[in-house]
Amino acid sequence: MIQFSANLGFLWTDRTLPDAIRAAKSAGFSAVECHWPYDTQPELVRKALEETGLPMLGLNTHRGEAGQNGLTALPDRVTDARTAIDQAVEYADLIDAQAIHVMAGFADGASAKTTFVANLHYAAEKTARTILIEPLNRHDAPDYFLQTTDQAYDIIAEVAAPNLKLMFDCYHVGRTEGDITTRLENLLPHIGHIQFASVPDRGTPDHGELNYREIFATIEKLEWNKPIGAEYKQTGPTDDSLNWMKDFC
């Protein structure tokens, strides 16, 4: 049976991170993940994880100053990008997060790719934990360096690090590329984490253009055995948005 992870960057954002972890446990999630936990003392996060028994699947590198969305592909920010990677690795070690999403940022061109590849080498060598890269759709994140799964696959192949994987967000892929189930099947060996939300409004998975009953069935058929991330926007209290879990669990 498919299992779900609560992305606490989107769910229970009105609570502290430790309390959001506890809420996810009470709601029946099998794991949690987060975006930028750095303002919370890691020992408090670890205590909540130990108390609930939930694994922390991942966290993001710092996105930079206001208006930025990562630093890793910016040629003039290599030192800052590696500082952000170091910070993420240290925090992940303290809370035993399984993966680190290394955010590329707004950039393009050959120098951006060269910088991104070099920094991914650095990240992959810095830790044995999984390093994730995620294409973001052009509607929500225009000018983001990494925009398609084909581009991500080429970079993963070039870096050739065993712990570098693709974050496959069905929402982003659905908005930009489509053909979700075929892409899941073809990219499965390179996928480190799967996330989902409805298209186009990034809401709960029980409506919209994507048939998540079919997508989740494909994920089960592929024998994916890790929780997949609920990273959707809710319009009210998170607890009131969880009816979809009864249908899909």
Token code pair at residue 98: 């399984």
Burial class (CB in 10 A: 0-12, 13-18, 19+), 74: buried
CA atoms within 13 A on the CB side of 183: 22
Is the CA virtual torsion 198, 8, 130, 144 positive or negative? positive
Residue 9 is given by DSSP the state T
| Spacing of C-alpha 22 from chain mean position | 20
Residue 24 is given by DSSP the state H
The residues annotated with a catalytic role in the active site are 134, 231
> Dihedrals φ, ψ of 196, to 5°?
-155, 155
Q: Are strands 164-169 and 31-33 parallel, antiparallel or unpaired?
A: unpaired
